[in-house]
Amino acid sequence: MTSPYVQEYNGLSSGCACPLCGAPTYEGNGCNTCFLPFKVIESIQSRPDMPRFVGVLGTSGVGKTVYLGMLLDLLARGECGLHGLARSPFTLTLHRKLILALERQRFPEKTPIESDRWDWLHCEITAGRKKGPYDVVAPDVAGEAVVGELESQGTYKTIRALIARCAGLVILIDVVQIVGDGKGQELFAMQLISYLDALKPRKRNRKIDVPVAVVFTKTDLCDEPIRDPESFARANTSALYSLCQARLERISFYFSGVAGSTGRLIDRDGQEMLVPLRVEPRGIVEPFAWMVQQLR
């Protein structure tokens, strides 16, 4: 029986179409067009249904690895009515990195910029008894690579293919930089939405129909708690908020945090490093749960 995702790509035979970009691939090799790793292609081909690709994107240091790793941990336990089951061993690599780092009271190391060193997750998601499970695939990409692609399109083909193919998008924004009157985070998110708009075909005067969740991260470092994320976005990132309302059909705002308390270590050279003193995740699953409802 031919897998549904193969049928979508110009009638290519089983195992010959990249599930991300649709280009021809060869057995035992990754995609030469979008550089989707062979291990991901093989994992997807072993499943009966086409997966949903989801992008979790943000600038460097915004907390993408922490967010994705903690999301895997909470989904494995069952949170917000969702249950996640890893469909391949490589999915657990990201989960393991985060848990081992937090046990040492450290945050994970920075994601390397080389795409062949990115971690990927492939999970089977179950949401309620009435609806059957489906697969979600997402990479942990480097923030510098995302910025590089936005500034020079085609530089990072994996990211371009992901944004063009994504069924949903999570945009992470560093709340500390927003509160500190920095405009870089807001401008990045606006540029990303404009890039999504350029890649997604749609009818004239229609909004983008891809669900987008904007998540303000590191709220554990914010002096004032964010009780209403949408009001916070309207007041502190007004240009981004207006763009979202004008371009996006489905948009929702959230906040998240992982550390209940944090401290700072200073090395002999005077360099500071933020460390988690207590793990207290909040607002991790909620954006994903909202997106799951939209994808159904």
The model's pLDDT over 157-213, given as tens digits with 9 standing for 90+, comes to 999 999 999 999 999 999 999 988 789 999 999 999 999 999 987 767 789 999 999
Alpha carbon separation from 275 to 36, 63, 133, 143, 263 (Å, rounded): 33, 13, 37, 20, 5
Q: What mean pLDDT is reported for the chain?
A: 88
Lowest mean pLDDT across 29-38, 102-111, 139-148, 256-265: 256-265
Domains of the chain: 1-48 (no CATH), 51-295 (3.40.50.300)
Per-residue pLDDT at 258 exceeds 60:
yes
Query: Would you tell me the crossing angle of helices 184-199 and 143-151 to the nearest 10 degrees?
Result: 60
Closest by alpha carbon to 229, among 199, 192, 257?
Answer: 257
pLDDT tens string 78-118: 988 899 999 999 999 999 999 999 999 899 999 999 999 99
CA Rg value for the chain: 19
Count the neighbouring beta carbons within 10 Å of the beta carbon of residue 81. 12
